[in-house]
Amino acid sequence: MNAKLALGLVTLCLAAPLAAQATLQGAPRAPRAKPPASSDTGAHPEAAIAMTLVREVYAYEGGGRDPFLSLLKSGDIRPLLADLKLVGIYYDSRYPARSVAVLRDITNSKLYRVKSGDIIGRLRATAIRPREIVFTVQEFGLERQESLQLAKQEGTP
């Protein structure tokens, strides 16, 4: 019985590596680590395994909006409230919706004639009163109220 057992063990030992090699023939082989240079015995260059690098590449195809471009355009940002000076208000007390405010951009001397509801950059004119204009400023998804007032009038003697 020992002879049969020994023959079975030898058969298993020989068959297992052959079966593993047959299943891995289709799969790519893992690169073997190169032994340290000190233990190099002058092996032939044909024995070295070629290593290939596979890199992941991203290419934007342009299907929609380019995700790397800014959503804010320079025209949407300007003018800032600090750049505007209230020059005059033409107030209609009968129909306040017809009132007009005149603003000057101090950076480039551009004039804006604004009615209630008009939008300049990120500023929306919400109300025009006899001596001031009220803006709703939209920044980063938040809204706040700011106002510009006419300069004080000096009385004539």
- 44-97 residue pLDDT tens: 555 567 888 888 887 767 677 777 777 766 555 778 888 899 999 999 999 988
Token pair for 142:
């938040």
Q: What is the pLDDT of residues 91-138, one digit of tens each?
A: 999 998 899 999 999 989 899 999 999 999 889 999 999 999 999 998
pLDDT range class, residue 30, cuts 50, 70, 90: low
Q: Report if pTM > 0.75.
A: no
Strand ranges of the sheet holding 84-90, from the earlier edge strand across to the other edge: 84-90, 100-105, 111-114
Domains of the chain with CATH codes: 74-149 (2.30.30.830)
The alpha-carbon radius of gyration of the chain (Å, integer) is 40
The count of other CB atoms within 10 Å of the CB of residue 150 is 16
* 37: pLDDT strictly greater than 90: no
